[in-house]
Structure 1
Amino acid sequence: MIKTKKTTIQDLANYANVSIGTVDRVIHNRGKVSPAKQKKVEEAIKNLNFNPNLLARTLALGKHFVVCSLFPRASDPNSYWSLPKRGVEEAVGSYRDFGLVCHSMEYSLFDESSFIESAEAIIEMNPDGVVLAPLFEKESRSFIKKLDDKKIPYVFVDAIIPNQRNLSYIGPDLKGSGHVAGRLMSSILNNSDNILILNFVKGLENSHINMIEKGFREFFKASKEMGDVKINSVTIPSIEEADITRELTKYYIKNSDIQGVFVTNSRAHIIAKYHAQHELPIKLIGFDMLQANILEMKKGNIDFLISQRPISQGTMAIKTLFDFFVQKKSPTKIQHVPLDIIIKENIDYYIKFQESVANDKDATP
C-alpha cells in the first residue's frame, strides 16, 4: 500500500500564495488576516484536504519546544523521585517527533542552595515551559517570580504553592491524603492509642508535608470515635537510614507506648524494618509502591500504602504543557491524581497493573 504524502502548512502557503504565518493565523483563528487571504487559505485547506494534526502544526512550522523539569535528586534508581522523572521521560519520548525536548534538573532535599543553583540554570536556558516540584517554598517563590517575569509557563507536581500563576497542579490532594491516612489508621487502632507522625524533611514549615500532617490531625480532631487518640510528630532532617534509626531509637526509649506510626513520605520501609528487628507490634502506614515498601508489606510489616501515582504525575505534566503549546488548550488548574489504597492482599494486582501500563506505553508507536 502506497502512503500519500501529508499536506503541510508549507503546502497550504504555497497553494494560497501567502506566508506560513498567515496560514497559522487562519488555522488558529488569531491575529488579523485580510478577507481575501482568509478565503485563499480556506480554499487551500479544502482543496488539499488538509488535516491540521499535531505533527503538521509543529514540524511544518519548524517549531521546537524546550521544557525543563526540576525535581529532588533521587537517592537511588528505585526511590520515589525517580518515578515522576520516569514519567516525564516517557512522555517526552512520545512527543519527541513533535519537536519536544526536555532538560532534567535536580536539587537536594536538604540543601536549598542546590535548588537555587538549578533554578538559575533553568532561567539561563529560557525554556518554553517548566515542570516543578516546589518543595522549598521560599526558594520556589523566588524562582516562580522569575518565570512569571519571563512569561514562561510552569506546572507544579507533587506539591503546590497556592495563589500562583502556574498552568496547573498535578498531584494528590495533600490535605486529603492526610485525611485518608487518618481514616486508615483509625480502622486499625483503638480510640485511646498513641500515634507518631514521622516527617523526613528539612524544615516542616517549608514543606508540603506540613499539609499532609494537618490533614491527618484534622481527621482525628473531627472524629468522635477517635477523640482520645494522642498524636505526636517528629521531624528528622534526613532520609538516611542510619540517621532515622538513631532518632527513632531516641524517641522510642522515652515513648514506649506508640501503637501506630504514619510516615508522611515514601520511607515507610525503613521504619518497617526497624519495627521488625526490634519485634515492635506497631501499626504502620506510608506512601507509595517503591520496591522496598512492597517487600516490607509482603512481609507483613506495613499495614497500608497510599499510592500517589508519581509516574502519572510526570506524564500528565508534560502532556499538559504540550497541549498548551500545540493545541492552545488551557488546562484545568488543579488535576488531582487518584489515591490508591494498597494492602498486602491487593498489592500483586497493582504491581501487574503498573507493568501492563508500562508495556502499553512501550508498544505505542
Structure 2
Amino acid sequence: MVKNKKTTIQDLADYANVSIGTIDRVLHNRGKVSVAKRKKVEEAIEKLNFNPNLLARTLALGKQFTVCTLFPEATTSQSYWTLPRIGVDQAMEVHRDFGLELDSYEYSLFDESSFIKNADVILGKNPSGVILAPLFEKESLSFMKKLEERNIPYVFIDANIPNKRNLSYIGPDLKGSGYIAGKLLNSILGPSDDILVVNLVKGLENSAHTGIVEKGFKEFFKSNAALSNRKIDSITIPSTLESEVSRELTKYYIKNRGTKGVFVSNSRAHLISRYHALHELDIKVVGFDIVPGNVTELKNGNIDYIISQRPVFQGVTAVKTLFDFFVYKKSPAAVQFVPLDIIIKENVDYYINFQ
C-alpha cells in the first residue's frame, strides 16, 4: 500500500493509465472527461489513499465550507440526540483542516416555533450545506423549499421525507425498523396478549417518521393471518415528563388490563418500563437506541429488546456525504440505510464497548 504522504498526482495518473491533464480535470471538475476515465481516476484516488489534505487543498483552493445542523435539542447529556452530534463532531475533527466548519442549531420536539426560528437563522448564514433531522414535517418542507431556492444541498438524518430533493437520507429503514420491532415483541408474548404502541411526540399528524415506524410495526401482524386479530392500540403522549407519562399510562391501563406488550416508537422506552417496574406490571417492552436510561432498564430486565439505529454512525456519514459532495463532486446514494442492531441484556456491554 502506498502511504498517503508519498502519493502524487503522477501516481494517480500511472494507476489509472491516464494523463496528468485528465487527473487535473477530474480533481478540479472542469473540462470534458469520459465516464470511464473519471471512474478510473476515482478508483485510483480511493485505492492509493491519495493525500486528502493535498486533495482538499487542490480542489477547494482555500475555500471554506460551512455545514449547519438542525437537530432536536438534547435536553440532557443522556438524550438520544447527543449521539448523532457525537458523530458529527467526530467527522468534523477529521475534515476541519480540509475547509469544513460547523454551526449547530437545535429545536424543541414540543415547539414547532423553535424549528422555524433556527431554520431562519441558518438561511441567514447561507451555508454550504445542511444536515437536517426533519421530525416536524410541515416546517421541514417549508425550510427545504427555501434551501432549494438558494441551491443549498441538504441531507436528512434519522428521519426521512420520501421523494424530496434532499442530497441523501442517512438513517434506518423506518418501516423496516417498525416491522422488526413487531416481530421481536410478538416472539415474547402469548397468543391472546394485547399490545400498546406509545408515541412520545407532540403530534402524530406532523411527525415525519413516527407514523411510518408505527405502520411498519402493524404491518408485521397484518402480514400474518394468524396474528391479524391481535388487539393493537396506539396512544400519543405529547410530553416526556414522567408525571405526565405516568398519568396517561394509568388512564390507559385501567381500561385495558389485557395489555402485555408495549412498543415505544422512539428512544424513551425507559420512561415506560420504569412505570411498569414501579407498579409491578409484567409487561414486555421493545424500544429504540442504547441511551443510558434504556441500557439501565435493559440490564434490570424491564426492557426486553432495544433496536439500535447507530446514531453516531449517522452523524459521521452525514458529514462525510457533504464533504465528498463539496470536494470530490460525488453524488451520494439517495438512501443510505444504517444497519439495525438487536440489543439484549446479554450483549449490550459488548456493543457499547465496540462502539
TM bracket (short chain): 0.7 to 0.9
Letter in 1 for 2:280: E
**Whole-angstrom distance in 2 between the partners of 1:254 and 1:118:** 42
User: Which residue in 2 is equivalent to 1:16?
Assistant: none
Distance 1:24 1:67, change over 3 A: farther
**Whole-angstrom distance in 2 between the partners of 1:27 and 1:155:** 24
**Whole-angstrom distance in 2 between the partners of 1:190 and 1:235:** 25
Q: Tell me the C-alpha RMSD between the 2 structures.
A: 2.2
Q: Is the 8 A contact 1:137 1:161 kept in 2?
A: yes
User: Which residue in 1 is equivalent to 2:285?
Assistant: 284
User: Which residue in 1 is equivalent to 2:43?
Assistant: none
User: Which residue in 1 is equivalent to 2:37?
Assistant: none
Letter in 1 for 2:152: I
Letter in 1 for 2:318: A
Q: Is the 8 A contact 1:192 1:226 kept in 2?
A: no
Q: Is the 8 A contact 2:7 2:51 kept in 1?
A: no
Q: Is the 8 A contact 2:204 2:211 kept in 1?
A: yes
SS state at 1:75 partner = coil
Letter in 1 for 2:267: S
User: Which residue in 2 is equivalent to 1:263?
Assistant: 264
User: Which residue in 1 is equivalent to 2:85?
Assistant: 85
- Give the CA deviation at 1:78: 1.1
- For normalisation by structure 1, the TM-score amounts to 0.84
Is 1:59 aligned with 2:57?
Answer: yes
- Give the CA deviation at 1:232: 0.3
Letter in 2 for 1:313: Q
User: Which residue in 2 is equivalent to 1:20?
Assistant: none
- Give the CA deviation at 1:201: 0.6
Distance 1:191 1:127, change over 3 A: same
**Whole-angstrom distance in 2 between the partners of 1:27 and 1:307:** 38
Q: Is the 8 A contact 1:108 1:115 kept in 2?
A: yes
Letter in 2 for 1:57: L
Q: Post-superposition, which runs of at least 4 consecutive aligned residues in structure 1 deviate over 6 A?
A: 4-8
User: Which residue in 2 is equivalent to 1:295?
Assistant: 296
Q: Is the 8 A contact 1:170 1:317 kept in 2?
A: yes
- Give the CA deviation at 1:5: 10
Deviations 1:305-362 (A, max 9, x none): 00000111111000000011111111011000011001111112112111xxxxxxxx
Letter in 2 for 1:228: N
SS state at 2:290 partner = coil
Q: Is the 8 A contact 2:237 2:245 kept in 1?
A: yes
SS state at 2:84 partner = helix
Q: Is the 8 A contact 2:288 2:308 kept in 1?
A: yes
Q: Is the 8 A contact 1:175 1:214 kept in 2?
A: yes
Question: Larger C-alpha radius of gyration, 1 or 2?
Answer: 1
- Give the CA deviation at 1:26: 6.5
Q: Is the 8 A contact 1:236 1:247 kept in 2?
A: yes
**Whole-angstrom distance in 1 between the partners of 2:306 and 2:26:** 51
**Whole-angstrom distance in 1 between the partners of 2:110 and 2:119:** 16
User: Which residue in 2 is equivalent to 1:11?
Assistant: none
Deviations 1:183-240 (A, max 9, x none): 0011011222100000011110211100000001111011123223100000011122
Return 5+ residue gaps in structure 1 as ranges.
9-22, 34-50, 355-365
Distance 1:195 1:325, change over 3 A: same
**Whole-angstrom distance in 1 between the partners of 2:346 and 2:313:** 23
User: Which residue in 1 is equivalent to 2:309?
Assistant: 308
Return 5+ residue gaps in structure 2 as ranges.
10-22, 34-48
**Whole-angstrom distance in 2 between the partners of 1:168 and 1:334:** 6
Distance 1:323 1:249, change over 3 A: same
Letter in 1 for 2:62: G
